[in-house]
Amino acid sequence: MGRATLDGAAGESTDELHEAAAQLCRDYATVEPAVLRDRGHRLFAQAHARGEESVEAERRELMVVCGWTSLLTACVENDLNLADEAERSRRTAAWLGREAGHTEIVAWAYELGAWFALTTRRWRDAIELAAAGQQVAPGTSAAVQLAGQEARAWARLGERRRSEAALGRCEAALDLLPLQRETDHLFVVDDSRTDSFRLDCHRWLGDDRLTEHYAAEVLARWDVPTVAPERRKPMRVAGARVSLGVVAARAGDLDAASDEVGAALAESRRCLPWLGLLAGELIEGVLSRWPDDPRSAHLVEQVRASAPEALAVHAR
């Protein structure tokens, strides 16, 4: 089957619309989020219009297309810091998943809720949503991601034992996935996904040596010339860079911290709320240790130009 287009839906089959939704999810890491959002809205409208004229079995499949498309749209709206729009798209996906009887779409809607809560510092909400979502679709990529989000939130609260327990569930869920799977798809996790979860957990728990270790693992996997651009994970790379900046700041090396943040901000594909949260916490540490150092002021201005959300986090 050839790649579906987003024009002339009347001439496209349901399978082609499924493929168009899958392609949007493959394009997540490389296409500008505003472009993906527009494509997602158009595909949703096409599939929805087709569903109005379809028999029951086909209507369910078109609801699944709309569900995946709504999840993708929610992700890119969150990346663009469009919180209200992202939440509406997430809720739409959850409703469509329930109506279609598609538990993995429902579970991913829970995961996005947990992710949105994390990026807005609502740690307890993230834990509740992640725990609830893990009951919905065990044995799926969503279950892996949900356990990872729970682990992050527990780590941010300083709950080491509970964070490690959630990481254990995350890795156990990953082991249940098929060995052959399409990991270029946004909603299919790859085998190295837990490295990023462990990286964030150890950074928040203050384990600098392990933070450096997992940051190095992420960079060795995704920030090397042998990785094709369409397979690269720029947001994981940015998270690893900021994490190394945090470790450098804790060690008293402001120059290294600034260099790592600069490398993170140079990534063109970003999740603004997440980058803002991480960079904001780093700035908080820098300003508490070097409040009058001109290099601190330079770092703040550097972040202000690229990720002003970080300064909003710092101001809270």
Q: Where are the chain's structural domains?
A: 13-101, 115-180, 205-311
* pLDDT tops 90 at residue 180: no
End-to-end CA distance of the chain: 51
Q: Which pair of tokens denotes residue 265?
A: 């901000």
Q: What percent of the chain has pLDDT over 90?
A: 81
pLDDT band at 188 (very low <50, low <70, confident <90, very high): very high
pLDDT digits (tens, 9 = 90+) for 240-261: 999 999 999 999 999 999 999 9
Q: What is the number of alpha carbons within 13 Å of residue 55 lying toward its C-beta?
A: 1
Residue 39: pLDDT over 70: yes
**Tokens matching residue 178:** 């098929």
- Point out the least confidently predicted range of 40-54, 140-154, 178-192, 302-316: 302-316
Residue 6 binned pLDDT confidence (cut-offs 50, 70, 90): very low
Contact present, 37 and 80 (Cβ < 8 Å)? yes
pLDDT value at position 310? 63
- Work out the widest C-alpha separation in the chain, in whole angstroms: 68
> What residues have CB less than 8 Å from 2, skipping those under 6 apart?
16
The pLDDT score that the predictor gives to residue 51 is 77
Of residues 11 and 106, more confidence is placed in 106
Mean pLDDT of the chain: 92
Separation CA 243–CA 262 (nearest Å): 12
Count of other CB atoms within 10 angstroms of residue 175: 9
- pLDDT range class, residue 312, cuts 50, 70, 90: low
Complete DSSP assignment for 145-211:
HHHHHHHHHHHHTT-HHHHHHHHHHHHHHHHTS-SS--TTSTTS--TTHHHHHHHHHHHHHT-HHHH
SS3 224: coil
Q: 114 and 156 in contact (C-beta within 8 Å)? A: no
pTM: 0.92
% of the chain residues with pLDDT over 70: 94
pLDDT of residue 3: 42
pLDDT recorded at residue 307 = 73
pLDDT at 235 over 70: yes
d(CA 282, CA 188): 30
Answer whether 146's CB lies under 8 Å from 114's CB.
yes
Are the CB atoms for 113 and 146 separated by under 8 Å?
A: no
pLDDT, tens digit, 9 for 90 and up, residues 92-105: 999 999 999 999 99
Condensed to tens digits (0 to 9), the pLDDT of residues 51-67 reads: 777 777 789 999 999 99
How far, in Å, CA of 186 to CA of 75, rounded? 10
**What was the pLDDT predicted at 7?**
47
